[in-house]
Amino acid sequence: MEPAETIAVAEWMRHPAATAVLSVLSGGGYRGRFVGGAVRNHLLGLPVTDFDIATDATPQRTLDLCVQAGLKAIPTGIEHGTVTVVFDREPVEVTTLRRDVETDGRRAVVAFTDDWAQDAARRDFTLNALYLDADGALYDPTGSGIADARARRIRFVGEAETRIREDVLRILRFFRFHAAYGSDGLDADGLAACGALAPSMARLSGERIWKELSRLLVACRAGDVLVTMAEVGVARHLWDGPVDAGRAVALIRLERDHRLDADPLRRLAALVAEPDAAETVAERLRLSNAEARRMTVALATPGDAPSDEAARRAAIYRLGAQPFTDARLLRAAETGEDVSADLVTARSWTPPVFPLGGGDVTGLGIAPGPRVGELLRQVEAWWIMGDFAADAEACRSELRRLASQRG
C-alpha cells in the first residue's frame, strides 16, 4: 500500500511509549502504524492525547515481541486482536489488522489479516480509516478519508446500511461524531440509513447506549444533532418513552450562556419528557445508582423561582446546590425565566451547618425519642426562616422556648 501523502512529523508521533512499541514491532519484521483518533485529530488540528497502533503482527506475536523486549504487555482484548503495551506507565493499544467473519449487530467474529485495506473496510467512518507512519507517511485505503477529515465530513466506509448492520451502535456514533467533529449538514446516505435502522437500537445494551449518548450530549454541536435525531425518528428509540429535544436544546443554550460546564446527566434529564419516566430511562441506560438518583431528583424537584435571596438560600440549603441548579435550569429551559441570580448564589454561597444536635435536646431533660427529632426540626425551620442568622445560643434559646410549651 502506497501512502496517499506525507505530512510533517509532529511531536506526538515521537512519544516515547509509541516509539518503543513501533521499534519492537519493526525489529520483529512487522509494521506498526498510528490509526484512528490520533490521526483524525491531527488532521483536524485538535490535540492528540492518546493513540492506537495497528499492526500486521498477530496478537500473540505482539505479546511475545514486547515481553522479549522487556515491555509489559496485557492481552486486554486478544480475541479481537488488542494488546495493551505499557511503557514507562504509559499505555498504548496495539491491535492486529482484522476482517469481519460474522456480525450480528452487537458484536463481531473477526479473523486476523495482514491486509491494511481489509482492516480499513471494516471500520466505521472514512476519517477513522487512516493510517500514519511515524515518519509522516499517511495512508488512505478508502480513498476519501483524508478529504473527509479535512472537510469535517462524517461518512460511513462503504455502504452505510452495511456498516450499521455490523454494529447498530454506529447509529449513535454517527451522530456523536458529527456533533463533535462535523461541519455543515449530516451525510444524507448515513442519515437515511440511521433513520431506517433505528428500531434495531433496541438490541443494544444500555451501557453501550449511555457511553455514546453521554459523549454526544457534551459535544459542541449536541443541540443541532439532537434535533435532527428527533426529526428522523432515531431519538425515540433511545428508550421506551418520548424525548424532549427542544428542552434539551434550550438547556444547552442556558449552560453556554451562563458559562456552565456541559453536563451530560442534566442534559439527559432535559431529554426525558415525562418525570415519571426517570426510573425507566435509568434502567434502560443502566445508569449508576448515583446517576439515576440525580436524574430522578432533578426531574421530581419543583423548579419554582425563589421569591428573594433568603428564599433562594433556603432552597439551596434544603435541596443542595446541584439539585437546586438542575431543577432551576430545567424549569428555565421550559419557561425562559431568568436564573442568573439563582446560579450565582448556588455557586458562591456555602450553606452553614445547623448548630444544634440531639444532645442539646436531651440536655433539657427530654428523653430520647421522636420528640427530640421533632424539636430539632422545628428549631431548624425557625433558623432557616431567619436566613440562618441565629447563632448556636440563639437556637438553644428557641429550643428552650419550644420545649417549655409542652412541659
Q: What is the pLDDT of residue 406?
A: 65
Q: What is the pLDDT of residue 107?
A: 66
CB-CB contact of 262 with 284 (8 Å):
no
CA dist., res. 280 & res. 297, Å (int): 14
CA dist 104 → 57, 60, 107, 155, 200 (Å): 27, 26, 6, 22, 11
Task: Please give the domain boundaries of the chain with CATH numbers for all domains.
Answer: 1-151 (3.30.460.10), 159-300 (1.10.3090.10), 302-351 (no CATH), 358-405 (no CATH)
Q: What is the pLDDT of residue 12?
A: 95
Quote the pTM value.
0.89
Q: Which residues pair with 111 in a beta bridge?
A: 99
Q: Which residues of the chain have pLDDT under 50?
A: none
DSSP string, 174-229: HHHHHHHH--SSPPHHHHHHHHHHGGGGGGS-HHHHHHHHHHHHTSTTHHHHHHHH
CB-CB contact of 312 with 341 (8 Å):
yes
CB-CB contact of 21 with 32 (8 Å):
yes
CA dist., res. 160 & res. 172, Å (int): 13
- C-alpha grid cell, residue 326: 438542575
Helices marked H in 107-144: 116-121
CB-CB contact of 387 with 316 (8 Å):
no
CA dist 23 → 50, 69, 360 (Å): 18, 10, 71
- C-alpha grid cell, residue 304: 419554582
In total, the chain counts a number of residues equal to 407
CA dist 59 → 120, 132, 331 (Å): 18, 20, 53
Q: What is the pLDDT of residue 106?
A: 62
